[in-house]
Structure 1
Amino acid sequence: MINRRTFTASLLSAVPAAGLLGTSAFAQSLRDITFVQPSPSAINSFPVFVAIGEGYFAEEGLNVTVEAINGSGAVLQALSAGQAHFGRPGPGPVIAAKTRGVDAVMIYNVAARSNFGIAVQQDSDIQGIEGLRGKVIGTGTADGAEVGFARNVMAGSGLTEGEDYTFLTVGDGGPATAAFLNGEISAYSASTADTAILNQRGMAVRDITPAEFGRFFGNGVATMADTIANDRALVEAWSRAFTRGHAFALDDANRDAVLKHLADGNPQEGEDKEFQSALFDAVRSKTIPSDDSPHLGWFPAEVWQEWQDSLVAGGDIAAPLEDLGAVWTNEFAQIGSEAAGG
């Protein structure tokens, strides 16, 4: 695993809940759980770090360690290999993995509003997707959610990979900036966080993604179907703590506490307080459910269908799944929402 960063729930925050058992006995009662995320950013997975910092996981008997690996493909590999219990992949990679026999299930819609976009340099002559005909589009990873999203956007404008444009894996942050400066790429398929980082580092970019693609939700929480079938209590416990962390972070009254938890999770992100705050606002805004969502973490079935259609059209999968509903569920998000108070 690369870009590895771990953050373990502090037992000190759980001392009051230990009661007469004592800290040592309470610590021994916690179950060790691993969560894998597709980048080192704590802000991109903010509900996890808030739930750790506020002691919500500890209250559910869980001691959560976070590991950062490279992209959704690696997240799904870790889940299927039993190296992690939960992860945060994108919907496109989850559908594609299902065609290869990987029975991952999305249980929570974190990025309810699209957290990806295709960006060009601020002073670029390119004003829309058609302007990328014959161009090279940079991506952070070779098989991450940003790749499937970009294919979908390009296909929507009638452009086909390999014929009308090409992808180039350049990494994120500094490497992406260098790729722009060296003329290797004309555009970059980026997450909200990636775009903010580029701008913060002096590479001014603007998003040219058509507005209609905003409905395509992004990365969410996934686990394996076997975990749901054989360890349902764990999935429910995780969902309650995670949703409480999400709800806590959406309340501006808790902002200072949230930013502290995120700095604990990734000290580098917390060094520039102004940038950390702005990036958190950008990422958090993408997790606010649409007006027709009944609760946090809810997946709209029709957008899953659109995701699958785009994967078929783009050649990422040969044919639709026999049961698309097998790769997602709203059941645990509802359980979590009830625990969070609505």
Structure 2
Amino acid sequence: MMNRRTFTASLLSAVPVAGALGTKGFAQDLRKITFVQPSPSAINSFPVFVAIGEGYFADEGLDVTVEAINGSGAVLQALSAGQAHFGRPGPGPLIAARSRDVDAVHIYNVAARSNFGIAVPEDSDIQNVEELRGKVIGTGTADGAEVGFARNVMTGAGMKEGEDYTFLTVGDGGPATAAFLNGEIDAYSASTADTAILNQRGMAVRDITPAEFGRFFGNGIATMADTIANDRELVEAWSRAFARGHAFALDDANREDVLKHLADGNPQEGEDKEFQSALFDAVRSKTIAADPSNGLGWYPAEVWQEWQDALVAGGEIPGPLDDLSAAWTNEFAAIGNEAASK
């Protein structure tokens, strides 16, 4: 069984979303596939929900079920167990999984700019990460992408987990707010969405992450190497639909339709229209690479190397992978971009 996070009925767990949202085609004529995401947010996976709502997956003969589970580690477990076809894990957890012979592959760089940061309360005396020495950093999950990102930042500051600082898994949203208010944590490794939610809940925070860590891309679309080898048509179909959804959402002329699709995906996020719109803007901005010349979803090889170096330095993996280039590919982003440009 997958380790599912507890969530409200607004989440589409084990629901064939494409059919539920009335996309083109008939569900009985489509191939049913499962996508797993590391949190309940539809906004964080907005290209999926837009591609569902606009019928792009149905155009490719796919009926997509969306499930939310607890963090990138669980996403990779679901993929390796054959319980899902595609997922959205972070690069750190994927490299760590590959060091344990989990043959997962990133195929589309969704968070092309870092969608994580280390935040402290607005009124905290802490001004930079060096001042987190001896402190407790909260995380939403025990093994999610936010953990690897924070460890990377702290390693860059010359600090080692367990000796110079500690992590404490506190959850996100309300539990994270409570952890701050109760003094359990001094900082929080948060995604763009997490930070927005904390601020919305009245827990004003500010980001103290050094600017140079913005190049570390975040969660992307992954599948298993066996799926690429044995079911390539599926991976190409997914990539075309996903990239079309991504491109559609980047066009402000489509904004009203996009926000409706996201509210259909998670009605709770759509209850506060102003917050939904602001959060979408924040998340969407992180999906556009600093250098857009290669199109959407493109991975820079040099940052994969930096991710691996940080994981080795932080002790998350015993040493470099035999073939880091096998952890990712840009071929399906290219296929997706071609479809999105038509």
Confirm or deny a common fold (TM above 0.5).
yes
Q: Which residue pairs with 2:126 in the alignment?
A: 126
Partners of 2:171 and 2:188 lie apart in 1 by 10
Cα deviation for residue 295 of structure 1 reads 1.0
What CA distance in whole angstroms lies between the structure 2 residues aligned with 1:162 and 1:12?
Answer: 47
| One-letter identity of the residue aligned with 1:128 | N
Partner of 2:180 in structure 1?
180
State how far apart, in whole Å, the 2-side matches of 1:212 and 1:269 are.
Answer: 31
> 1:69 & 1:28 partners in 2: Cα distance?
26
Aligned to 1:3: 6
Q: Which residue of 2 aligns with 1:22?
A: none
SS across alignment from 1:117? strand
Residue 195 of structure 1 contacts residue 205 of structure 1 at CA under 8 Å; is this kept in 2?
yes
Look up the match of 1:224.
224
The residue identity in structure 1 corresponding to 2:54 is E
2-side partners of 1:294 and 1:227: how far apart?
A: 25
| 2:96 matches 1:96 | yes
CA distance in 1, matches of 2:197, 2:20: 33
What fraction of aligned residue pairs are identical, expressed as a percent? 83
Q: Report the Cα distance in structure 2 between the residues aligned to 1:234 and 1:308, rounded to whole angstroms.
A: 29
Report the AA paired with residue 259 of structure 1: L
Partner of 2:159: 159
Kept after mapping to 1: 8 A contact 2:21/2:52:
no
Separation (CA, whole Å) in 2 of partners of 1:85 and 1:307: 25
Q: Is the 8 A contact 2:299 2:329 kept in 1?
A: yes
User: Offset of 1:12 from its aligned partner?
Assistant: 7.1
Q: Which residue of 1 aligns with 2:117?
A: 117
Higher helix share: 1
Q: What displacement does 1:29 show? A: 1.9
What RMSD in Å do the two structures reach over aligned CA positions? Answer: 1.2
For residues 46 and 127 of structure 2, the distance between their equivalents in structure 1, rounded to whole angstroms, comes to 33
Q: Does the CA-based 8 Å contact 1:14-1:59 persist in structure 2? A: no
1:273 maps to 2:282: no
Alignment of 1:45-56 (within 5 A): 45-56=45-56
Distance change (3 Å), C-alpha of 1:12 and 1:152: closer
Residue of structure 2 in register with 1:21 after alignment: none
Look up the match of 1:323: 323
Residue 170 of structure 1 deviates from its aligned partner by 0.3
**Structure 1 residues without counterparts, runs of 5 or longer:** 19-25
Instruction: Tell me how far 1:3 sits from its aligned partner.
Output: 3.2
- SS of 2:268's partner is helix
Partner letter of residue 36 of structure 2?
Answer: V
Deviations 1:5-47 (A, max 9, x none): 32510377445xx5xxxxxxx4322000100000000000000
List alignment gaps of at least 5 residues for structure 2. none
Shift in Å, 1:212 = 0.2
Deviation for aligned residue 1:290? 1.9
1:294 matched residue in structure 2: 294
1:212-264: CA deviation from partner (whole Å, max 9, x where unpaired)? 00000000000000000000000000000000000000000000000000000
TM, length-normalised to structure 2 = 0.95
1:268 is paired with a residue whose SS is coil
Instruction: Identify the residue that residue 107 of structure 1 maps to in structure 2.
Output: 107
Letter in 1 for 2:171: G
Moved more, 285-294 or 155-164: 285-294
1:292 to 1:273, Cα distance in 2 relative to 1, 3 A = closer
- In structure 2, give the amino acid aligned to 1:143: D
Q: Is the 1:87–1:221 contact (alpha carbons within 8 Å) kept by the matching residues of 2?
A: yes
| Aligned match of 2:206 | 206
User: What's the secondary structure of 1:9's corresponding residue?
Assistant: helix
SS in 1 for 2:217: coil
Counterpart for residue 303 of structure 2: 303
Counterpart of 1:150 in structure 2 is 150
Letter in 2 for 1:9: A
Instruction: Tell me what 1:313 maps to.
Output: 313
